[in-house]
Each structure stands twice: as C-alpha cells, then as structure tokens.
Amino acid sequence: MDNHLVFVYGTLRRGCTRAMSIRFPNSKFIANANVSGSLYDLGAYPGLILEQSKSLVIGEVYEVDDEILNELDDFEASSNYRRTQVEVSVGSDRRMCWTYEPNPEFYSFRALITSGDWIEYAKTKTDWPEDTGAGETQS
C-alpha cells in the first residue's frame, strides 16, 4: 500500500467540524503549508483555483494511504471536486501533494477570499447556505 501527501485548505483542516482527524482518523498530520492560487467562497465550502496564482492559500498537509485517498476521491467527487497535483510550500521545503479543485462547470467563482484562509474567513461569514452554518468551524 502506498502513502500519499494531500493538501487540504477548507473544512478538512484542524478546527473544523469535518476535520481530517475526525472524518479520516487514520490520516497523519504532517505540517501547515501554503500553495499559490486563488481561494473562493462557494457557499458551504471554499474552492481553490490553481491556475490563478494571485495569492497564497493556507492549508495543511496530511499523509494518507491508498484507501483513504480513494475515500477522499469519493467524498470530494460528491461535491464536484477533482483531484490534481500541486507543489506546496512547507516552511522552506517544497513538496508535491494531491489537492482537490472544484469543477468550474458546476460553480460560479463569485467571492474571492483575499486572505487565502478559509478558517479565518468562515468566522466572519454571514451568508451560509441553509443546511450549514457558522458551525463549520469550531470555537
């Protein structure tokens, strides 16, 4: 079984109710990291667009096995996200990781999150879809 590095930037980060440690308890936190791209508010979740390298997007790197990577694929595909490779910065090191980008055919990218940090942004967000809310991040 192979191990893979995955960069998460939204509700799978620590401090969120859907954090990797909760949803995928066998994943291993490696480090805080960032990637060059643009982060958008897509309603209940953020969306990272890598082609638009306007700022740094803050996230975390996890090590996962094949089984968890397949579970992540299914989890993200249900929201029309697709897996892609990206080079992330972990301190002064660069590492290749998998991450998930929203399929632009299903989303309109209306609100740019200029800070690049979903957790900080979510604390001030007021226009949550009905089935979600400020509970996306834990206090």
**Hey, which residues does 100 pair with through a beta bridge?**
83
What the block records as the tokens of 25 is: 């308890």
What the block records as the tokens of 47 is: 């969306």
Q: Which of 51, 76, 87, 136 is catalytic?
A: 76
**Hey, which residues does 101 pair with through a beta bridge?**
82
**71 catalytic per annotation:** no
The four Cα atoms 65, 28, 42, 130 give a dihedral, to 10 degrees, of 100
Active site residues: 76
